[in-house]
């Protein structure tokens, strides 16, 4: 029974369900916006999805399950516990910068879908795309300002309505299409299961953010198939991101593994069956890289004489894109707030609003997204620059995964006493598999596409490496010039950001669930 001296905050503490966390993970990772990229390979897309899933996604999900049920703070907390404050700061900064670059790409898909619904010619208008991105992103920022409870509710429903439901519709429509005896636009045979992208003279369009035709680059020769598979690794990136919210669960040790397992299953189901459905009705040579999904809906509904349904599905796709953006808006920036309040950031970047949300970081984020979005207006001039920026962002995320796998192995050795809600058997095997896949992806990420044939390979690599150094330098600079006055939270609270969950539960005012 609570006494009269029990703080009111203890009574007011609320938890979120593991289903909500799972839906947030799905919203952060799964999207049907890039499925047309794989749909052009028909049944071969199954292999292009499954190989990255086995060698990259499964190791990430399993390792994140152990880390997420052992320590607070997400990837920042894990790396900090393993390698200290400085590298923890570096990793969360890198994650934040990568996500900032990603926003204009994903919202470019939303703009293309919106244009297709009303006037397809607008999809080629850089000004239209730029304005839509700015409006949608600032709207997401305003929602994020309302607090985590609001974000989690919106994200859950946006994911269900804008990702899961449209994906399910594609699969159902594809089944009906085949049962009605309609021909498939893609070959259906055993031989079609092997994509023809490994021939000497093959060519593929690949990239870290395959969402706008001008941001695709062509790779030719026998290496093209490997580039395509490796570039698909990042389609699975992000499941570890919402592990930062583990403490919001009533029993994270037991509930986080369930959340990750369900999210993993849903993500694979959202990727593969809808991709096959698109390949049934949209010929590979006429698939739009940005509007391919809505193309498939239009083809289905026109054939069934219910074309009026197409705009409805288009609206749902836009909702799904917003859900993905919203799920990423708060996660990395919340991690930055943790770091900032510990004394790494000047006070101006530590400011929170009445809902406890990182107000100034979100505003800075929105300003940077606005600036990057103007690239759509000048696409003919900056296409190559934007490609390299996106390629650099992909390398950032892969470097972050290197630190995650290394941290998991080190923490097994240095902190064996920490109770993990999920203990991964064969941890080192999964970490080495994930590391090998990630390092391979980094190497392939440094290969210039055919459009850069006039640029020496070493120059291309040098530009990317220089970009990584420049974007990775700020956290080390902030760390070097930090002042004691920047630390606005007690050391005990700062340490709680990355503390073992078992210690946090023991210190909670409210008892842990039995």
Q: What is the pLDDT of residue 514?
A: 27
Q: How confident is the model at residue 342 (pLDDT cuts 50, 70, 90)?
A: confident
Q: What is the pLDDT of residue 208?
A: 38
CA distances (Å), origin 365, targets 27, 338, 392? 20, 16, 18
Q: How confident is the model at residue 199 (pLDDT cuts 50, 70, 90)?
A: low
Of 379 and 495, which is predicted with more confidence? 495
pLDDT digits (tens, 9 = 90+) for 141-161: 888 888 777 777 777 788 788
pLDDT digits (tens, 9 = 90+) for 86-105: 999 999 999 888 888 877 77
pLDDT digits (tens, 9 = 90+) for 131-141: 988 998 898 88
Q: How confident is the model at residue 179 (pLDDT cuts 50, 70, 90)?
A: confident
Q: What is the pLDDT of residue 177?
A: 87
Q: What angle do the packed helices 457-481 and 379-414 form, to 10 degrees?
A: 60
Q: What is the pLDDT of residue 4?
A: 44
Q: Mean pLDDT in the chain? A: 79
For residues 281 and 296, is the Cβ–Cβ distance under 8 A? yes
Q: What is the pLDDT of residue 219?
A: 62
Q: Given a cut of 80, is residue 9 above it in pLDDT?
A: no
Collect contacts of 108-111 with beta carbons under 8 A, ≥24 apart: 108/133, 108/211, 108/212, 108/290, 108/376, 109/33, 109/34, 109/211, 109/290, 109/321, 110/136, 110/317, 110/318, 110/321, 110/322, 111/136
- Mean per-residue pLDDT for 482-497? 82
Q: Strand pairing partners for 203?
A: 220
Q: Residue 219: in which H helix or E strand, if any?
A: strand 217-220
Reduce the DSSP state of residue 218 to 3 states and report it.
strand
Cα 86 to Cα 78: distance, rounded to the nearest angstrom = 13
133 CA to centre of own chain:
18
Per cent of the chain over pLDDT 90 is 14
pLDDT digits (tens, 9 = 90+) for 397-439: 899 999 999 999 999 999 999 988 788 889 999 999 999 999 9
Ordered domains of the chain (ranges, CATH): 15-502 (1.20.1740.10)
For residues 81 and 459, is the Cβ–Cβ distance under 8 A? no
Q: Given a cut of 50, is residue 381 above it in pLDDT?
A: no
- Mean per-residue pLDDT for 384-402? 81
Q: Given a cut of 50, is residue 126 above it in pLDDT?
A: yes
Residue 216's nearest CA partner among 389, 471, 387, 33 is 387
């Amino acid at each position: 029974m609570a006494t009269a001296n029990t703080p009111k905050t203890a009574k007011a503490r609320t938890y979120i369900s593991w289903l909500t966390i799972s839906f947030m993970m799905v919203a952060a990772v799964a999207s049907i916006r890039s499925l047309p990229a794989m749909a052009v390979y028909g049944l071969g897309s199954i292999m292009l999805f499954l190989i990255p899933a086995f060698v990259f996604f499964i190791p990430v999900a399993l390792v994140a399950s152990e880390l997420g049920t052992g320590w607070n703070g997400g990837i920042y907390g894990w790396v900090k516990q393993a390698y200290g404050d400085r590298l923890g700061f570096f990793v969360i900064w890198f994650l934040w910068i990568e996500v900032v670059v990603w926003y204009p790409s994903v919202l470019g898909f939303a703009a293309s879908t919106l244009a297709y619904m009303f006037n397809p010619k607008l999809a080629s208008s850089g000004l239209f795309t730029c304005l839509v991105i700015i409006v949608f992103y600032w709207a997401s920022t305003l929602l994020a300002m309302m607090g985590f409870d609001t974000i989690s509710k919106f994200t859950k429903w946006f994911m269900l309505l804008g990702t899961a439901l449209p994906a399910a519709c594609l699969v159902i429509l594809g089944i009906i299409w085949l049962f009605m005896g309609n021909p498939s636009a893609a070959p259906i045979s055993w031989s079609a299961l092997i994509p023809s992208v490994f021939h000497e003279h093959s060519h593929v369009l690949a990239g870290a953010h395959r969402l706008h035709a001008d941001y695709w680059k062509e790779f030719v020769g026998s290496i093209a198939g490997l580039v395509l598979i490796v570039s698909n690794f990042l389609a699975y990136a992000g499941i570890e991101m919402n592990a930062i919210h583990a403490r919001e669960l009533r029993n994270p040790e037991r509930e986080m593994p369930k959340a990750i397992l369900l999210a993993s299953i849903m993500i694979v189901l959202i990727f593969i069956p809808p991709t096959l459905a698109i390949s049934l009705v949209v010929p590979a040579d006429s698939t739009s890289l940005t509007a391919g999904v809505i193309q498939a809906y239009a083809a289905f509904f026109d054939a069934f004489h219910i074309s009026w349904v197409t705009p409805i599905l288009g609206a749902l796709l836009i909702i799904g894109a917003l859900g993905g953006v919203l799920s990423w808006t708060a996660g990395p920036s919340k991690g930055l707030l943790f770091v900032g309040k510990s004394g790494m950031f000047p006070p101006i970047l530590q400011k929170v609003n009445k809902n406890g949300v990182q107000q100034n970081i979100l505003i800075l984020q929105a300003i940077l997204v606005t600036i990057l979005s103007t690239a759509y207006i000048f696409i003919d001039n900056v296409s190559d620059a934007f490609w390299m920026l996106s390629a650099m962002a992909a390398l950032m995320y892969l470097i972050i995964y290197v630190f995650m796998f290394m941290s998991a192995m080190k923490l097994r050795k240095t902190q064996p006493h920490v109770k993990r809600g999920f203990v991964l058997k064969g941890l080192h095997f999964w970490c080495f598999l994930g590391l090998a896949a990630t390092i391979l992806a980094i190497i392939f990420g440094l290969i210039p596409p055919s459009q850069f044939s006039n640029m020496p390979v070493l120059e291309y690599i040098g530009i990317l490496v220089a970009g990584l150094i420049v974007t990775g330098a700020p956290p080390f600079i902030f760390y070097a010039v930090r002042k004691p006055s920047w630390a606005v939270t007690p050391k005990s609270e700062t340490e709680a950001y990355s503390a073992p969950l078992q210690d946090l539960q023991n210190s909670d005012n409210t008892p842990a669930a039995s």
